[in-house]
Amino acid sequence: MSAGPRPGSTGPHPGSTGPRPRSTGLPPGTGPHLPDIDLAGFLEVHAKATAEARNSASRTLATWRQEIDPVDPAELLSPVFVRTRRAFVWVSPESSVIAMGSAADFVERGAGRFAGIRTGWERAARNAVAGGPGSRGTPSLVGGFAFAPRPGPLPEALMWVPRILVARDRDGRTTLSLSVGVDPGDPVQDDVAGVIAQARGLLSAVGGRPCPSPYLAGTTVTEVPSAAEWKALVARAADQIGRGRFDKAVLARQLRVSSPCPYDVPSVLGSLLRAQAGTTVFAVAADGHAFVGATPERLVSLHAGRARSMSLAASMPRGATPAEDARLRAALLEDDKSRREQQVVTAMLRQAFDQVCREVSVPAEPQVLDLPNLRHLHSRIDGVIADPENTGVLDLVERLHPTPAVGGHPRRGTLDWISATEPFDRGWYAGPVGWMNADQEGDFAVALRSAHLHEGTATLYAGCGIVAGSDPDVELQETGLKFRPMLDALAVPTGPDGAGTS
């Protein structure tokens, strides 16, 4: 599926001598226990969906869910991308979703893309037929949204029901979901057996993690805009803030990495999983394009009527020694600019939660989120939804995106200025990526520390929040630190400021 040597390839780059995915050392056929999928039960669900499709004269989903033995999501990466051109990966400290294929697509464009996806999914979920002992709360719809409603290599809004989905919830339960779409007058029972065979093939291939991407001589890195041009943009933003046009603006920059060979998505994801503890590693892959990353920022989750978001802003590097690390940690908590930047984000999230929640909890002081090479100020915002029957997770996503952490404040004026100032379109960078279930619950992250992969090109993104007093040189160094996780995953050497070298 992905931007690999061929659709779905999981080996090293063509012509390289890089190692193959590691083996568990187990003899063939002695990996994870294959689930005994109830073909008769799935066929019964399919028959009911066929009747519903005829009655409604519309395509109807048939879904079978059951619990299975736990599976390490990292060991599913290679087999998933071998078997499909459409894949979704979500591995967070709380849950994981690995999905392949599509039983139903939901694609929208324009300013109404969030509402359009929700409306389409509500209609499909209302008519869907589900069976099996698995939980209804299992993820059903996966995908995400571009930062702004503009055409690009990936749709402005793309979510879909996977044919095969393996999900682990916060309690460690693992569920296998199988879905097919049934068209009126065209009941294809063989499709059920085919999906089961695909699922068994996927799970039987579990047994090794992808190896890191090899370094390839001839890789080049281009900055867009150049460092000097970007620092000039930061100075312009600071000037606009000083004139009172806005309080904060988030400016992004790109690194365009060109490799002699296509990038292997499982290798990139495996490296991110190993190196970026505490983040959500994600991938949305379709039609030869893959958007991947390891983000520290949750946009919003909704479960059992409770919503949760994260106010994340301000950055500082980790120290080389424990003493230096402790000093930098204390400095971040005491830094006035950093606290002002984070307070802008917190206030906006609090205001948005107040509009839809009857109870909202925000800590009085921010905490420090420590990541492998960076740390940020963050606050957790929790709320109890006032009208859970009419407020789903996509309503919250639309209300919150983009937060001041990735756009600015006030929202409209800042976004207009960014759109006119940045010399590229952000695509899916800083957009919402995640999943939801049939009850309109789900979890979405902000797609940071990310890259768009297509064949031998990787386009990396990083941004900084500009407020009064921002120093262009310091902000440039911060983007270098934010590029480093993805550059490391792509095996691109980094210079002293964290930017790629060639």
Site of tokens 């949750």: 298
- Contacts (Cβ under 8 Å, ≥6 apart) of 84: 1, 8, 100, 101
Peptide bond into 12 cis (omega under 30): no
Torsion of CA 363, 365, 371, 374, to 10 degrees: 140
13: closest CA among 273, 315, 217, 292?
217
Q: Is there a catalytic annotation at residue 248?
A: yes
Q: Which of 108, 156, 248, 475 is catalytic?
A: 248
Is residue 182 within 8 A of residue 62, CB to CB? The reply is yes
Q: How far is CA 276 from the centre of its chain?
A: 14
Q: How buried is residue 370: exposed, middle or buried, by Cβ count under 10 Å (0-12/13-18/19+)?
A: middle
How far is 477 from 328, CA to CA, in rounded Å? 15
Q: Which of 156, 297, 398, 478 is catalytic?
A: 297
Question: Helix or strand or coil: residue 394?
Answer: helix
How far is 168 from 328, CA to CA, in rounded Å? 36
How far is 436 from 30, CA to CA, in rounded Å? 34
Q: Is there a catalytic annotation at residue 297?
A: yes
Residue positions annotated with a catalytic role: 248, 297
